[in-house]
Amino acid sequence: MSWSIEIDANTCIGSGMCAGVAPDHFELVDGYACAKQAQVEPADEVVDAAESCPVEAILVKDADTGRVVAPEE
């Protein structure tokens, strides 16, 4: 199983919370969040990063089923 990470560039405000919570998975590029890899192995810190985003610009989904993993609604 793997997860896909999508970042809504129009929503991102560049708070850097994701890079602070999960630096192995996220970085800021030109002031905006960027996933280091579009698909990752399931990891708690990826969920934590999505949950910590103040504008919910990060969407984590199961790559096989499309089920939203985070943020929780």
pTM for this prediction: 0.94
The structural domains of the chain, with segments of one domain joined by +, span 3-65
3-class secondary structure, 62? strand
Six-digit token string for 43: 């990891």
- What integer pLDDT is reported at residue 73 of this predicted model? 75
What does each of the 73 residues of the chain score in pLDDT, given as a tens digit?
999 999 999 999 999 999 999 999 999 999 999 999 999 999 999 999 999 999 999 999 999 999 999 998 7
How is domain 3-65 classified at the architecture level of CATH? 2-Layer Sandwich (3.30)
Do residues 46 and 18 touch, judged by C-beta distance below 8 A?
no
